Structure 1
Amino acid sequence: MDVFYIDYPPYYYSAQGEPKGILLERAIRAINCAKIDFTLTELPSNRALDGVKLGHNAMSIGWFKTQERESFAKFSIPIYQNKPQAAIFKKENAQAFAPFTSLSELIVKSKLVLGVVAGHSEGKIVDDIIRMNPTNVFRVNAEQMNIIAMLDAGRFDYILLPPEEFDNLVITRRLNSADYVLKCLDDIPPGNKRHLIFSRDVSDEVIEAINRCIADDDPSN
């Protein structure tokens, strides 16, 4: 099986040429547990999705379930659930954010611009909120790991990230976490669930075997 992953610490990345990351390591355990031969390849996010959509006997790691992706891929049971997203912005701009307690208010009532990665889903509830006023959304053709550098450079006013991703990104980009504010928003749901996705020709039996291994490896059990 061809297994594709993207560069998105702390979930999956390469360090000194070696695949690393909390989701990547868990996915590898599940595949090995199911006794499936595989080859790992790091790809940009769009190419990883295309590898599943157009490939044969292919899998990619850690994707949210969306209606569009369900049209071309099969999904495993959840392999991880993010912490709830927070609005992240420069501390120097904190006063502009003070009147707003929800993402809906920020999108509709403020002039603050949200930066998002083009083609990425933030989960159905957040995606629906973002569509309420697309003029206040700046979409960038970049990998998720680069978006905080764009925020730091003033390309937009805020981003949405789970706290565990923020911690890693500021370290990776050698930024000072004290320069930023993480603000919880009332209408942000519990964190999105991430799945393994498979090309349509992967058998249900193979996916069921991997699902059993994911469940057995669940630290919450």
Structure 2
Amino acid sequence: MHRLALLLAMPAVLAAEPRLTILYHDRAPLYHLGHGGRLTGTVYANVRAALDAAGLDAQFVSVPAKRQLAEVERNQAPVCALGWLMTAERRRYARFSAPIHYERPWLVVTRRQHTVAVRQLGALHALLPSDRLQLILLDGASYGSYIDGLLHRQPAIRVTTDADNLLRMLDAGRGDYTIQPPDVLEHYLATHPESQLQSPMLADVIGEPLYLICSRRVDEDWLHRFNAALKVKRPR
């Protein structure tokens, strides 16, 4: 049986209060496996500190991003997923923590040869309907309520992978541009100095908070204790 299935199916007799599982996928530098296979990153450190301060027990398990939401929605066990945007659809089936990270304004990322064309269009709402450039996105990802609204019914290449691999694909010529948070691009450029990717900033691309998204089997008191211990500064 898959490791996650074993963890989520642990009999209740093992503990009066089932151990909560927090699902994650690598998103360096916020949370990712570092040297020695240990989970690290700025957001992970804040979440781990809040858990410890509140005396809450949780285990972190690596699971592909798209599957995380399916596990939360199934509501078969107390499970959360790390670093997700809040949307109206997700509020229908999940509970949310307080914000664990505030995104900086998102970037349109493109290869050097397309930078002038992107800048000429001037804003994301003008770029998306253009047939001059092909958009590539992560399948199943939300980019926040504002950007999702702009993306509605827009043609795009959608790929099932992580952000780092998506940028590799864009670098290699698949698609012409994508939308990413600054920290993802900064980490990619730092580890791929030969990259041809650049980031024209568009004024209408905004960042939104990230949360723990949790199944409804996660007790509200657990979330209250976690939120009370969480120390995250909102950017000015």
Say whether the fold is shared (TM-score over 0.5).
yes
Mapped to 1, the partners of 2:115 and 2:234 lie a distance apart of 36
* Counterpart in the other structure of 1:139: 158
Partner of 2:31: 12
Q: CA deviation at 1:110?
A: 4.2
Q: Deviations over 1:199-220 (max 9, x none)?
A: 1011111111111111xx2245
Give yes or no for the alignment of 1:186 onto 2:200. Answer: no
- Equivalent positions of 1:92-103 (< 5 A) are 92-103=113-124
Distance in 2 separating the partners of 1:47 and 1:98: 36
- 5+ residue gaps, structure 2, are 1-19
Query: What RMSD, in angstroms, separates the aligned Cα atoms of the two structures?
Result: 1.7
1:64 to 64, 70, 85: 85
Is 1:168–2:187 an aligned residue pair?
Answer: yes
Number of aligned residue pairs: give it.
Answer: 214
Q: How much does 1:4 deviate?
A: 1.1
2:112 aligned partner, one-letter code: K
Distance 2:58 2:51 in 1: 8
Matched-pair contact (CA < 8 Å) for 1:4–1:51 = no
Work out which of the residue numbers 44, 55, 62 in structure 2 matches 1:35: 55
Q: Which amino acid aligns with 1:17?
A: G
Deviation string for 1:5-58 (max 9, x for gaps)? 111111111122101111111111111122111111111112222232223111
Corresponding position: 1:78 with 2:99? yes
Contact 2:26/2:33 (8 A) holds in 1: yes
CA contact (8 A) 1:148 1:170 kept: no
The residue that corresponds to 2:5 in the other structure is none
Whole-angstrom distance in 2 between the partners of 1:169 and 1:69: 29
| In the alignment, structure 1 residue 202 sits paired with structure 2 residue 221 | no
TM-score, structure 1 normalization? 0.90
- The aligned counterpart of 1:87 is 108
Normalised TM-score (structure 2): 0.85
Using the alignment, how far apart are the partners of 2:39 and 2:128 within structure 1? 37
